[in-house]
Amino acid sequence: MRGTRFYLWLGMFLVAIPIAAFALVFRSDIAGLFGFAQEGLSLKVDLSERRMYVREGGKTVKTYNVAVGQPSHPTPTGHFRTGRIEWNPSWNPPNSPWARGKKPRAPGDPANPMRGVKIYFREPSYYIHGTNDPASIGSAASHGCIRMTESDAVELARRIEAAGGGVPLEIVP
């Protein structure tokens, strides 16, 4: 006759280990490794390429050129989720040494560095936004944000809203 300990071990091997393996395989950050497509909209920014990839169902459906943070003000890397979307934003200088002496800028002001839309991903300081300096796209020019042309940023924000709001954002070096 087998004891209670035997049945506990048997239960663990027959139930707990398969459940743990299933959970590991279907984690969102490694599911692609096993060929399981992720449903819905997601974004990936490759800082070295200066590109943003828009994915739906695990497939890239759109690519944008972007500007990223300067070496002295790097764009953060990691996994984020887009947050609040602010249309036609004003610009208020952050409490940072580089912004000392700068004045707030209203929406539409030619000196306003925010154009069209601001999509937060790490509040309060980091967002994706349209820029008043489209020549900076493709370079490391920002103070940590991800810059896009105004029309690209508006298109992206509409796509995010159509997907229900916040979407996963991965930023890789």
Active site residues: 129, 145
The Cα 85–Cα 1 span in angstroms is 65
Terminus-to-terminus CA distance in the chain, angstroms? Answer: 59
Q: What is the largest CA-CA distance in the chain?
A: 84
The Cα 101–Cα 113 span in angstroms is 15
The Cα 60–Cα 117 span in angstroms is 23
Nearest to 45 by CA among 151, 135, 165, 152: 152
Residue 93 CB-half CA count within 13 A: 11
Structure tokens at 89: 């934003």
Q: What one-letter code names the amino acid at 31?
A: A
The Cα 98–Cα 114 span in angstroms is 17
